[in-house]
Amino acid sequence: MNKLYSLDTRKKVLEMYRDGIPVDEIIQRNNISRGRMYAWVREANLPHRRKNSACSEIKPFSSVADPSTMSLTERKALIDQFRISKNITAFAAEHHIPRSTLYNWSNSNDLI
């Protein structure tokens, strides 16, 4: 027997998927099956994510500007965005900065 889901649940699941939240977390939070979620993803014509898709977008850090050349103001702005980011791996890839650097800056007293 098929369980009926509200339109709000479906929208929430698709939004979480678009935001890069891990599939296991989405299905656990919303108490839905993996198959149901992927059916909604197909119906919405969203691209199917691979398990490490965010990591595959990361460019080699040697070809990116050195993060240590950023000003303190730039770092603070970046860390504010980092702290509210839902997908840390995608955020690091988008800004071409290693996650370890972002975590170190986030824990630094200079940037509080």
Residue 86 in domain: yes
Residue 2 in domain: no
pLDDT value of residue 109: 65
- Total domain count for the chain? 2
Asked if 54 and 20 touch (Cβ cutoff 8 Å), the reply is yes
**Residue predicted with more confidence, 59 or 2:** 2
Would you place residue 11 in the very low, low, confident or very high pLDDT band (cuts 50, 70, 90)?
very high
**Residue predicted with more confidence, 48 or 107:** 107
pLDDT at 102 over 70: yes
63 and 43 inside one domain: no
61 and 107 inside one domain: yes
pLDDT value of residue 54: 45
pLDDT value of residue 90: 81
106 and 68 inside one domain: yes
Asked if 55 and 90 touch (Cβ cutoff 8 Å), the reply is no
The per-residue pLDDT for range 33-85, each reduced to its tens digit, is 999 998 998 888 887 776 544 444 434 444 445 676 778 888 888 888 888 87
Range of the structural domain that residue 104 is part of: 54-111
> Which phi-psi region, left, alpha or beta, contains residue 96 (left: φ > 0; alpha: ψ -120 to 50)?
left
Q: Which CATH number characterizes residue 21's domain?
A: 1.10.10
58 and 87 inside one domain: yes
Average pLDDT for the chain: 78
Asked if 17 and 26 touch (Cβ cutoff 8 Å), the reply is yes
73 and 96 inside one domain: yes
Residue 108 one-letter amino acid: S
